Amino acid sequence: MATKDLYPIIFTCAGTLVVNIPFGYWRARYKKLSPMWFLFVHLPVPLVVVIRSLNHIKLSWGLAPFLIASYFTGQWIGKKWRGAREAKKAGDRKNINT
């Protein structure tokens, strides 16, 4: 496989990761397995399909692990981002009150 053939796959995985960051951020507010939690886990799926279509990538067993890893890494980064922001806000409030 030539390097130029890898670019669409790399862009698709990167796009999948980036699209999932805000959804992971929003998902972190809700109790695990709640309806809103499920919504924020599954809402990005159509966006990932569009990204794949724009890059002319067909879903295959060889590509699926990379897309799944990108998907959940984006969700994880968003969750960690929210946790860090909330911890910073809690720390700021603590410093104000002392």
pLDDT digits (tens, 9 = 90+) for 33-57: 999 999 999 999 999 999 999 999 8
Cα dist. 16→10, 56, 59, 98 in Å? 10, 14, 13, 43
pLDDT number for residue 91:
77
Cα dist. 21→6, 37, 61, 91 in Å? 23, 14, 24, 24
Across the chain, mean pLDDT equals: 89
pTM for the model? 0.83
**Percentage of the chain lying above the pLDDT 70 cut:** 92
44 near 71, Cβ under 8 Å? yes
75 near 20, Cβ under 8 Å? yes
pLDDT number for residue 46:
95
Reply yes or no on whether the pLDDT at 19 is more than 60: yes
